[in-house]
Amino acid sequence: MDSRELIKALDLIEKEKGIDKEVVFEAIEASLVFACKKNYGTSDNIHVDINRETGDIKVYARKEVVEDEYDGFLEIAVEDAKQIDPRYEIGDFIDFEITPKNFGRISAQTAKQVVVQKIREAEREKIYNEFIEKEREIDTAIVQRTERRNVIVSLGKYEAILPFNEQIPGETYKFEDRIKVYIMEVRQTTKGPQITVSRTHYELVKRLFELEMPEVKDGTVEIKSIAREAGSRSKMAVYSQNESVDPVGACVGKNGTRVNAVVDELKGEKIDIVPWSEDPKKFIASALNPADVISVEILNEEEHSARVIVPDDQLSLAIGKEGQNVRLAAKLTGWKVDIKAQSQAALLSEQVQEDEDIDEDTDDIAENVSEDVSENISEDISEDISEDTVSEKADEETAENEEN
């Protein structure tokens, strides 16, 4: 790469890649200075200058004008300096060209390396800036390959990683499959930006409904909370301040078109859509859908614990397979939920009543015993006092008789 080719290359890079030409010039100069120091030691007085118009490269050693010269590479005597220009004084600096004979080859190689490095850095920065704005959003990815159980997908021109623990259990990924992914994290590394995507994140469900529903996008319908066990089932609580809008119906869509589109994208994952309420009793009851609920009792508001009573034939449905329904309902509402069948609750209520009756009887017995004991103690004290009084009178009469 000669001088003219360098200028043309930098002009093209600035135009196509958006890399400031001056930044590249400065980087090349710094790299050439480093290369020169291998020949001239670690002297700090070496600098490289690239002509911005012609691309010509020259190396200079900057020497200080002193009265007596001790180091010929760093200093020049004032007498010698005045022979170059009478205006030089002690303390001035003079640049002397020291460009090596083989410097053209060195500079060309260095310039090429710097240009390639700057292009790579610019590409990395471009990728990072583009995807950092997409973080927490969804995008369409195309499956490329599998590496150590991780799936590598392409997002346009760039690749992202779908880690094993972010893959939906049981889902298979074939070459060139198109899937929706949630951009979970964009991070700068020494090897460039690393984009991590997810298929299990609960926000993926929310973003998919946003794609299907303009009501969610414009805020008419709010998705208040989502609880998800990826690949199996999700619960979503929705709300609308507009009384004329049915938030659940809006999410389901005509003939289930909207929710089915999301279910298809998630490979058959079931989605329960329930109405959100600021009343925890109503919210907990709806969160246990599809089970019917008889009543909800708040046990401890501070600890967010509640007891739910359901019909006997609805108990298994309310709990769900392996406890999934009640587990998702608890995540969705943020409340600890204890489910009881109606018959269990009745027995528990009877037991509590019996315990209360026993406590009342015990209290009555204790009160009666206390009264009897108090009466007996009072009588004993009275008898003792009477006996003491009689004894004192008898002693007094005996004493009077002896005196007479």
- pLDDT per position as a tens digit, 66-102: 988 888 878 889 988 889 999 999 999 998 888 777 6
**pLDDT-derived band at 385, boundaries 50, 70, 90:** very low
User: Whole-angstrom Cα distance, residue 343 to residue 353?
Assistant: 15
Mean pLDDT of all residues in 28-46: 74
Minimum mean pLDDT among 114-128, 180-194, 258-272: which range? 114-128
Residues 271, 236: contact at Cβ < 8 Å?
yes
User: Do 112 and 138 share a structural domain?
Assistant: no
Helices and strands, number each (H, E), in the chain: 12, 15
Pairing verdict, β 178-189 and 192-198? antiparallel
Scan for tokens 């760039």, then name that residue: 158
Would residue 323 count as lying in a domain?
no
Domain end residue (candidates: 90, 108, 130): 130
Give the SS3 label for residue 137: coil
CATH number at residue 231: 3.30.300.20
What is the band of 336 on the pLDDT scale with cuts at 50, 70, 90?
A: very high
Q: Which domain holds residue 22?
A: 3-130
Do 146 and 69 lie in one domain? The reply is no
What the block records as the tokens of 390 is 């009689």
SS3 224: strand
Q: What is the mean pLDDT of residues 279-298?
A: 95
Same domain, 22 and 109: yes
Q: Is residue 345 part of a domain?
A: no
**Residue 38 belongs to domain with CATH number:** 3.30.1480.10
Q: Which helix H or strand E contains 250, and what residues bound it?
A: helix 247-252
What is the DSSP secondary-structure string of 288-320?
A: TTTS--SEEEEEETTTTEEEEEE-GGGHHHHH-
What pLDDT, on the 0 to 100 scale, is given for residue 391? 53
The rounded distance, in Å, linking the Cα atoms of 156 and 172 is 21
Residue 302, in any domain of the structure: no
Looking at the structure, tell me whether residues 153 and 109 fall in a common domain.
no
Residue 380 lies in a domain: no
Q: Within a domain: residue 144?
A: yes
**Contact present, 263 and 269 (Cβ < 8 Å):** yes
Residue 229 lies in a domain: yes
pLDDT for 339 equals 93
Is 351 part of a structural domain of the chain? no
Contact call for residues 274 and 246 (beta carbons, < 8 A): no
Q: Are strands 46-50 and 305-310 parallel, antiparallel or unpaired?
A: unpaired
Q: What is the pLDDT of residue 404?
A: 45
**Residue 171 falls inside a structural domain:** yes
* pTM metric for this prediction: 0.68
Q: Which of 306, 311, 174, 329 is nearest to 237 (CA)?
A: 329
Distance between CA 218 and CA 335 in Å, rounded?
30
Treating both helix axes as pointing N-terminal to C-terminal, what angle do 21-40 and 3-17 enclose, rounded to 10 degrees? 140
